[in-house]
Amino acid sequence: MAHVVVDDPDRSGVLITGGAGVGKSYLARHLVDEHERAGGAARRVYASTFSGELPLGAVAAGFSPSDAYTGVAPTLTIKRALEAEAGPTMILVDDIDQLDDASAAVLVEVADAGLASLVLTARSGARVPPPIERALVAESIVAIECPDLDEAATAELVRVRLGAEVAPATARTVYEVTCGNPLYVRELLEAARSDGMLRAGPTGTELTGIPGASTRLVDLLERRLRSLSPPERDALRYIAVVGPISHGVLLSFVEPELLESLEERGLVSTVLDGRRLMIGTAHPLHGEILRAIESPLGVRTIRSRVAERVVALGMRRGDDRFRLATWSLDGIVAVAPEVLTEATLMAKTANDFELGPRLASAAVDAEPNVANIRNLAHLQYHAGRWDELRATLDDWHAVVDSDRDRAEFEELRVTGWYWHGADDAPLLELAATLDSWPEGEVRDELGASVASLLITHGRITDAVDLAERLRDLPPGVAAVRVAMTLGHGWRSQGKPLAAARLVADALDFYRSFGPDVFALSDSVMAGVRIQALADAGEFAEVDRIVAESADRWSDSGDASNVALAKLAHGWSWYLRGEYDRAEQLAAEAETAFATVHHSGMIRWAIILQALAASQRHDPNDAAKLLSLIDSRPDHPARIFDPYLARARGWVAHRKGFPDDARAAFVAGFDAATDGGSVIAALGCAHDLCRIGRADTAAELLAQLDLTELEGRYPQCQQRHIGAAVDGDVDALTDVVDQFVSLGAPHLAAEAATDAARSPAATARDRRRLLQRAAEVSTGDSGGVDQLAAQVGLTRREHDVVALAALGLTSREAADRLSISRRTVETHLGNAYQKLGVNDRLGLLERLRPST
């Protein structure tokens, strides 16, 4: 089966799973060895506790530093390295539960590109890195279970291990004690042999007792290790504490015959990686036990000795350099400044904002040059360490000596002051003086950054004008910012479909380079696209994107970026009148923004919560949220301030203050038009129509240029205002149908009520229209409660379906309900069967209002 999978050109690889010691590693190595004997290229990636501590640490062990640690785009460089191989490459990764997520993403990417076939192993129930888990779901990687042995196979294994026939009673005892686990069998027999518990009997070798009081593997292994000589144990300590170590380094501390003895005992394994022989513990549990019983001082002493030897040998491998750079932070070893810089770049590339600032700070202390200070500033910014960033920016300014460096300094200074300092003065100053910079690439990149901030500032026209002048930038971070600026800008200007197409094209283009190129965040770009599609009323496409991508976003590692996608999804539910869903997603986004101290984006999330809460009949929750906003410091990211005015208007309306409501909606309209946001202005005008002030809405609408207005949703809003001010029953009836078709039954019910109130409506019209209003407002087939009653969902199935409808992944739903992920998926599967659907997309179709 494994042979078939790895040879299948439509598959990216195979994952061999099973309990500890079932032989999955042996099978994986056998596949790779056969591939090499047939002339194929092979790479071996070491996943260990230590590589997992370093961003892309595992990949570094299988590729040279020049391949894996460019500090910009490891996926591209590794692709190029694999393309240079003479034949198809097979990559072995043992124990992927210790594989860092960044390495996993790179490996899946190159395998999906057809440049390699992955052979992976994992203990049953162990953590599977999210990129590999997604590949398993997509079936590009196939999982094969390597089960424990049955009684007959266990007896045969005992016979082979002992090299003699085995008494039936002994074979049965071994099976009962080990449950058929090959590693348990081996450890039990070795312990029994060491203790003299094996003897010849009339029907074969007999086991006279069980070594030790416990039959658990740890107990057996502990007993076995105690039989080692002190030099053997010391040798094993070095291997366990340091992780996979080269034979050349290890020979500085261990005699060759000791290694041979440990290998004969099955305690260490050797693998030839390129031209270097790597030695590691034969099983992860060996290392775990030895590290657990080693004192902190012992660990430090061993690592210090190994570090000295690696430094003396020149740190030729990438994993050596990064391991030592990390150890240097604890004072174990001193490394050259360039090693710290190299490690900093890798941490930055992998978005490791815990290790990264520590490495960067050490690099600055060792060599305070522009590059190191810049890296530290960027990492502090992304880690939300605002006070530390202020001091670093002062240091950076003192050493800037070129236009390129000055531009990068200005960009981070302006961005830092804007987001973390809530101060727009540096941004506006830079925007006003941008033309004074020399023409060329540096100014264009700086302009792209300015435009991306101006759009969040709510200055839509200025931002779009600047971004449109920069549309021809070459691929890179600046071009991504231009695409995002135009996406938000065109959406705000009433062209949401054009905005969605622009962002979709940009996403497709940059995804072709790999997931980490240009620090492109899939969730950020997708969030802009979702919001544009939602504003256009394309809710089915919104749900499709979320259903396909939610797991990928949640594993991206950047809380604020994932929160932006959730916020956009929440906005789509608000437009559909699903206010509870909108409020919940916005609350989750607020929590995520708070983890990275993004006060401006926290404000956005609270605004959406307040707007959603204000639409419900009890305005008190919304009023509390508005008070929370008022109690917080102001922030220059004001793109959503017109929606804040809308929330205030709805609270006033619900509390019975019509004049205050009108004033709030007009204020929101004025703020939107001042900034150039047609969509936000139209929303304020439509709110006036919805509270019975269609005349005021029409007056405001006359101030907008709607000749290029795109999207069914905004066009329906415009038609609703026009039909309401005219009292046109037929036109309002058409609006009802259009809102129902869009999936906005709450607005359809309001339009039907408007039509029934029209002086032109006959008595028959009024009865028909009020009945229609009741049907669309209460006959919402998208309600989970109603579906549950229709098909007989259990309480738990109802809860799981409700969370899935909110866009939560199975993992998130499991955490919310305090059950396992597998249990969530079981309930989902049962619900799908009752609902007659196959997946989340089908579920969303059932939850969408009928048209």
Residues 128 and 218 in one domain: no
Q: What number is the average pLDDT over the span 267-293?
A: 70
pLDDT in tens, 453-466: 999 999 999 999 99
CA angle 194, 196, 197 (to 5 degrees): 110
Which of 402-406, 530-534, 660-664, 783-787 has the weakest average pLDDT?
Answer: 783-787
Residue 94 lies in a domain: yes
Q: How confident is the model at residue 554 (pLDDT cuts 50, 70, 90)?
A: low
pLDDT at 780: 39
Most confident of 171-175, 418-422, 814-818: 418-422
Residue 365 lies in a domain: no
Residues 100 and 45 in one domain: yes
Residues 250 and 306 in one domain: yes
Residue 794 belongs to domain with CATH number = 1.10.10.10
Residue 813 lies in a domain: yes
Q: Is the pLDDT confidence value at 517 over 50? A: no
DSSP state, 615? T
C-beta neighbour count of 501 within 10 angstroms: 15
Reduced to 3 states, what is the DSSP secondary structure of residue 206? strand
The Cα 340–Cα 315 span in angstroms is: 13
Say how many CA atoms lie within 13 Å of 299 toward its Cβ: 17
C-beta neighbour count of 226 within 10 angstroms: 10
pLDDT at 639: 94
Q: What is the CA radius of gyration of the chain?
A: 32
Task: Name the domain count of the chain.
Answer: 4
pLDDT in tens, 12-21: 888 988 876 6
pLDDT in tens, 756-795: 888 898 888 888 887 787 777 644 333 566 667 677 888 7
Q: Which of 195, 222, 249 is the last residue of a domain?
A: 222
Q: In what order do the strands lie in the sheet with 89-94?
A: 41-46, 89-94, 116-123, 13-18, 141-145
pLDDT at 494: 96
pLDDT at 730: 94
Q: How confident is the model at residue 733 (pLDDT cuts 50, 70, 90)?
A: very high
pLDDT in tens, 180-222: 777 777 777 877 777 788 888 767 888 887 664 334 445 656 6
CA angle 91, 95, 101 (to 5 degrees): 75
Residues 233 and 319 in one domain: yes
Residue 14 belongs to domain with CATH number = 3.40.50.300
The Cα 447–Cα 434 span in angstroms is: 7
Q: Tell me, what amino acid is at 589?
A: A
pLDDT at 71: 40
Buried b (16+ CB within 10 A) or exposed e, 579-617: bebbbbbbbbbbebbbebebbbbbbbbbbbbbbbbbbee
Residue 455 lies in a domain: no
Residues 115 and 174 in one domain: no
pLDDT at 66: 43
The Cα 755–Cα 546 span in angstroms is: 36
Most confident of 275-284, 339-348, 426-435, 777-786: 426-435
247 lies in which domain range?
Answer: 228-328
Q: How confident is the model at residue 694 (pLDDT cuts 50, 70, 90)?
A: very high
The Cα 751–Cα 773 span in angstroms is: 8
Q: What number is the average pLDDT over the span 331-359?
A: 82
Q: What number is the average pLDDT over the span 610-636?
A: 90
The Cα 503–Cα 483 span in angstroms is: 6
C-beta neighbour count of 161 within 10 angstroms: 17
For a pLDDT cut of 70, what percent of the chain falls above it? Answer: 83
Residues 91 and 190 in one domain: no
Q: Tell me, what amino acid is at 364?
A: V
Q: Is the pLDDT confidence value at 699 over 70? A: yes
Residue 396 lies in a domain: no
Say how many CA atoms lie within 13 Å of 837 toward its Cβ: 16
pLDDT at 211: 61
Q: What is the mean pLDDT of the chain?
A: 82
Give the β-pairing of 198-201 and 204-207.
Answer: antiparallel
Q: How confident is the model at residue 46 (pLDDT cuts 50, 70, 90)?
A: low
Q: How confident is the model at residue 47 (pLDDT cuts 50, 70, 90)?
A: low
Residues 111 and 62 in one domain: yes
The Cα 173–Cα 215 span in angstroms is: 11
Of 135 and 314, the one with more pLDDT: 135
Say how many CA atoms lie within 13 Å of 39 toward its Cβ: 2
pLDDT at 748: 92
Residue 515 lies in a domain: no
Q: Is the pLDDT confidence value at 585 over 80? A: yes
Residues 127 and 166 in one domain: no
Residues 6+ positions from 94 with CB-CB distance below 8 Å: 25, 28, 46, 47, 120, 121
pLDDT at 338: 86
Q: What number is the average pLDDT over the span 324-348?
A: 84
Residues 175 and 293 in one domain: no
pLDDT at 718: 96
Q: Which of 179, 207, 222 is the last residue of a domain?
A: 222
Q: Is the pLDDT confidence value at 825 over 90? A: no
Residues 254 and 214 in one domain: no
pLDDT at 732: 94
Residue 467 lies in a domain: no
Residues 236 and 271 in one domain: yes
Q: Is the pLDDT confidence value at 750 over 60? A: yes
Q: Which of 162, 194, 222 is the last residue of a domain?
A: 222
DSSP 3-state helix, strand, coil percentages of the chain (rounded to 5)? 65, 5, 25
Residues 89 and 162 in one domain: no
pLDDT at 213: 39
Residue 671 lies in a domain: no
Q: How confident is the model at residue 844 (pLDDT cuts 50, 70, 90)?
A: low
Q: Which of 57, 28, 61, 27 is CA-nearest to residue 44?
A: 61
